A and B are shown apart, each in its own frame.
Chain A
Amino acid sequence: MTEFVKHETVLDTGAEKLGKTYARALIAAAKNQGDGVADTIVNQLAMIVDDYLGHNPQLRDAFASPRVSHAEKVRVIDRIFGDELHPTLLKFLKVMASRDRLGYVYAVRNAADEIFDDMMGRVVASVQTAVPLDDVTRSQVIERLGSVMNAEIKLRESVDPELIGGMVIRIGDRVFDSSVQNRLNKLAVKVRRGFSSKLLERFDQFISG
């Protein structure tokens, strides 16, 4: 389900807002528990959303359904996650259940990822290249971006042969495009424009005979 993809194309502003609020509370609670707890909790939350809910639509529906009672949901949470999860996350899920918000776990996960990355000074950079990155280039990119952004870089790679060469790096809403495709397009526009103005300026010189 596309619901679990980040930046889903159906924008539910309410869910986004709600997720942010819960995520902030969760991470603040985790931080109080000591070092490393927040990291564990964010990872476990991702696991819940990706592994359990992502592969199990019935569980997801049960979580979202208002017809399943709070007590039932709490029981399910205890039974499935009881041993695995950090106690704070477990409590958090129960709080969400008691407030009828379990259907929004995915929104909380997205927001928690973002807040946690932000907290740790981590920046997600997606890199598009024409051919897969080799290790040397990858470490170069990470190092260079890290020094420019002054942050730890989390790389997300993808391959698009249409770029021909070079790479397109996207950080947040900003794109740094040095692909050959983009340069060729820009060159084409510029040459066409320049040529037509020259043509207008000195048409006679273009005609021979």
Chain B
Amino acid sequence: MKFSSDEIASVLQQEIEQFDNKTDVREVGTVLEVGDGIARVYGLSGVMAGEMVEFRNGSIGLAFNLEENSVGVIILGDYLTIEEGEEVKALGTLLSVPAGDAVIGRVLDPLGNPLDGKGPVQTDITRPVEIIATGVAERQPVTQPMQTGIKAVDAMTPIGRGQRELIIGDRKTGKTAIAIDAILNQKGKDVKCFYVAIGQKDSAVASLLGVLEKNGAMEYTTVIVAGASSPAPMQYVAPYAGTAMAEQFMFNGGHALIVYDDLSKQATAYRQMSLLMRRPPGREAYPGDVFYCHSRLLERSAKLSDALGGGSITSLPIIETLEGEVSAYIPTNVISITDGQIYLQPDLFFAGIRPAMNAGISVSRVGGAAQVKAMKKVAGGLRLDLAAFRALEAFAQLGTDLDAATQSQLDRGYRMVELLKQPQFKPMSVTDQVLSLYAGTRGFLDDVPVKAVRRWEMDFLQFAKDKHASLVSLLDEKMDLSDEVIQMIEACIGDFKNGYKPVESAI
């Protein structure tokens, strides 16, 4: 391959000819002090809050604090080579990031610079990082489902497009796993996915990228990384940058799913910046506006009205708790902002119940309207039953004799718990979920040994696909449990049970 130098020269010539030779007018200031990702600048008297400034080394900063005599600037990038006394110039614009199809499949930093070695993002579309969320008139209620492919979530805390569902739990309880499964399940569903890693270990992000790539999810996913080694201002703007990229799709009638992993680290970064800027500390030393920091971010997830194209952003913010303490400052804040939460518990996780979702306190406040009819019929009441089962189970451990009704309730509960277990990176289709939950909630599993339930489910779903393809396609199409469909499901289960012997080793 040879490059034609004539062609290159002519393009360069055009660019040079089009260059307009105007005097550059700019507002400037002088660095007074710099360190820890922030700088105090003297001058810049006309700068506005949130305006971009540029340092001599090319780093971008944002005017964060406008004080009487100086301007507090957060530095997005390298602050180690900025010197005291050097000139800072105001750029007169707000921070914006590249958006549109060009960002899909990329790994970017919060400013839109490439981290995947594939060169700069080639696009003319940019979007401001901080915008005020759409208002009441521009929205409509959440009605379309956003399937995560996880039985427990789709059945008990369904998520709709445009919803904000918090994933909360201690460290190592599978929070990220739920979000990743949700992303993997969007394959072929025309939903663009954004994974914002805030303050994560770079090794963790790298292995996650491996998973996304292996499962073909990078075709519709953008990963925005502000790792643990990024300066606090980068970690602070990362979720806003990710949302700006997602908004490009929402405002053009598309759908997006965005995962903020995790917002507690973003709050910590914001706290660091605020304290360095000498804003007064409040509860847990967080600044007074840390609530607004999260609420204005999550308000940008919305389901737009039909007049605006009906696009949506669904967000899955993640919060890490310490020792299950959900009443700490940041968890309560985010719980109150979101439309529900999925609460993951370490003891369930280590008991092998994965996803380790606590059915009692996990809720979805708006997703019910978005659930498909079939799922609503099989899973209605499942969450409460399961919560009741947990209470009963604790009571039964006292060793008292139980009456037959209670015992059967317990048996059903054990099987449902078993049925809701699901391996990682194996999202299920709605049809499969409906079939297996139908079998579980209607008591078809009561005579299957508890330990054989998962094997039974797997074999049953395979059987339904192979032998009762008409049922599967009918369910796929209707997404409702009409009498006809119910008859077919029961016939299918009957058929399967007649010829099925659980493998001995499983029992």
* Chain A residues proximal to chain B, CB less than 8 Å: 7, 9-11, 13, 16, 170, 172-178, 182-183, 186-187, 190-191, 194-198, 200, 205-209
Contact = CB atoms under 8 A, between A and B. Distances in A.
Nearest to A191: B15
B7 A205 contact: yes
A50 B29 CA distance: 25
B69 interface: yes
Contacts of A13: 67-70
Secondary structure of the B side of the interface?
Answer: mixed
Interface in B35-76: 40, 42-46, 67-70
17 contacts: A9-B32, A10-B32, A11-B40, A175-B27, A178-B23, A182-B24, A183-B21, A191-B15, A194-B15, A197-B124, A200-B122, A205-B4, A205-B7, A206-B3, A207-B3, A208-B4, A209-B1
Contacts of B19: 186-187, 190-191
B315 to A, nearest CB: 31
Contact of B43 (A173, A190, A205): A173
By Cβ-Cβ distance, the 9 closest A-B pairs, closest first, are: A208-B4, A177-B24, A194-B15, A178-B23, A191-B15, A173-B43, A13-B69, A173-B45, A200-B122
B120 interface: yes
Contact of A195 (B15, B28, B68): B15
Query: Which of B28, B29, B40 gathers the greatest number of chain A CB atoms within 10 Å?
Result: B28
A208 B7 CA distance: 9
Contacts of B33: 9
A205 B6 CA distance: 10
A176 B42 CA distance: 18
Contact of B2 (A177, A186, A191, A209): A209
B30 interface: yes
A190 B27 contact: no
Contact of B120 (A173, A175, A196, A198): A196
Nearest to B11: A198
A16 B69 contact: yes
Interface in B143-177: none
B16 A191 contact: yes
Given A11-B40, A11-B42, A187-B19, 14 more contacts: A7-B42, A9-B42, A9-B85, A11-B69, A11-B70, A170-B28, A174-B26, A175-B28, A186-B24, A194-B15, A195-B8, A200-B122, A205-B7, A209-B1
Contact of B4 (A170, A187, A207): A207
A13 B69 CA distance: 7
A197 B1 CA distance: 20
A71 to B, nearest CB: 35
B412 interface: no
Contacts of A177: 23-26
Nearest to B8: A206
B415 interface: no
Contacts of A194: 11, 14-15, 18
Contacts of B1: 207, 209
Contact of B7 (A7, A176, A200, A206): A206
A204 B122 CA distance: 17
B20 to A, nearest CB: 9
A190 B15 contact: yes
B12 interface: yes
Contacts of B127: none
Nearest to B21: A183
Contacts of B120: 196
A7 B30 contact: yes
B11 A176 contact: no
A11 B89 contact: no
A13 B40 CA distance: 13
Contacts of A173: 27-29, 43-46
